[in-house]
Amino acid sequence: MILHLNTQAELEHAIHTLVKQDPRLKPVLEIAGMPALRRREPGYAGLAAIICGQQLSTASAAAIWSRVSAAFDPFHHDTLRRARADRLGRLGLSAAKIKTLKALAREIASERLNLDVLANEDADAAHNTLTALHGIGPWTADVYLLFCLGHGDAWPAGDLAVQEAVKIGLGLNTRPTAKQMTPIAEPWRPLRGAAAHLWWSYYRAIKKREGVIAGQDPRR
């Protein structure tokens, strides 16, 4: 059964279901508070925005995407497919990202890829479909599935913030690797995407708490 997180009410219902299934998540929710649903534009534009932001600061990613999306308005895969690489480069895109965006555009234009149908596929199968594409890594695939398609079971196992949150929240000795995160999340199927929202909120709450403590302690 594939569940979707398209509304705040759906996310909250999923979180409450998770807490009932796994009591370890109750204190996590108490600290994190109920996460707010975050969604991005689906389709080629949504995935392109994630690709543009890979390995960049939030500010740098936003600046580059603002230039790219403004230069190609409306933003369409055929437009990017035909765009000159030097023009894209002047907008701030690296050669590797230009290659990825163009390869993705060709896959969509040839109808070998339909990004929208991934929302109704098994999360692992959809993840594998995306990561099989040139330049699409696990993190990019999972972020697209979760934030652009609202896939309720997408699990960003490689996200460092989620890993650190899981380590603290579950009392692990070390931060789990992406490979170790997969069995850890098994009890949360088919709502691993909702669990990811919860762990991100938990991470932010912890870091905010640490910031307050650090600010009050003159020794730190």
- What does the pLDDT read at residue 214? 40
- What does the pLDDT read at residue 17? 98
- What does the pLDDT read at residue 55? 85
| Cβ neighbour number for residue 36 with a 10 Å cutoff | 10
Question: Is 77 a member of any domain?
Answer: yes
- What does the pLDDT read at residue 219? 30
The CATH number linked to 14 is 1.10.1670.40
Same domain, yes or no: 23 and 86 = no
Same domain, yes or no: 49 and 30 = no
Same domain, yes or no: 198 and 109 = no
Same domain, yes or no: 177 and 92 = no
Give the burial class of 100: count Cβ atoms within 10 A of its Cβ; 0-12 exposed, 13-18 middle, 19 or more buried: buried
What tokens were used for 43?
């389709």
Same domain, yes or no: 71 and 123 = yes
The CATH number linked to 100 is 1.10.340.30
Give the burial class of 216: count Cβ atoms within 10 A of its Cβ; 0-12 exposed, 13-18 middle, 19 or more buried: exposed
- Give Rg (Cα) of the chain: 19
* CA atoms of 187 and 157, how far apart (whole Å): 14
- What does the pLDDT read at residue 217? 34
Question: Is 3 a member of any domain?
Answer: no
* CA atoms of 101 and 106, how far apart (whole Å): 9
Same domain, yes or no: 168 and 129 = no
Same domain, yes or no: 50 and 27 = no
Residue 72 DSSP SS3: coil
Same domain, yes or no: 102 and 193 = no
Q: How far is CA 190 from CA 13, 61, 153, in A?
A: 13, 31, 5
Number of domains in the chain: 2
- What does the pLDDT read at residue 175? 97
Residue 190 domain boundaries: 8-38+154-211
Question: Is 176 a member of any domain?
Answer: yes
| Cβ neighbour number for residue 215 with a 10 Å cutoff | 9
Question: Is 216 a member of any domain?
Answer: no
Question: Is 2 a member of any domain?
Answer: no
Tens digit of pLDDT at every position of the chain (220 positions): 889 999 999 999 999 999 999 999 999 999 999 999 999 999 999 999 999 998 888 899 999 999 999 999 889 999 999 999 999 999 999 999 999 999 999 999 999 999 999 999 999 999 999 999 999 999 999 999 999 999 999 999 999 999 999 999 999 999 999 999 999 999 999 999 999 999 999 999 999 887 744 433 323 2
Give the end of a domain, one of 108, 131, 148.
Answer: 148
Same domain, yes or no: 113 and 141 = yes
Q: State if pTM tops 0.85.
A: yes
Question: Is 217 a member of any domain?
Answer: no
* CA atoms of 141 and 122, how far apart (whole Å): 13
Question: With the CA atoms of 1, 6, 193 and 22 taken in that order, what torsion angle do they form, in degrees rounded to the nearest 10?
Answer: -70
Same domain, yes or no: 103 and 140 = yes
8 A C-beta contact, residue 80 and residue 105: yes
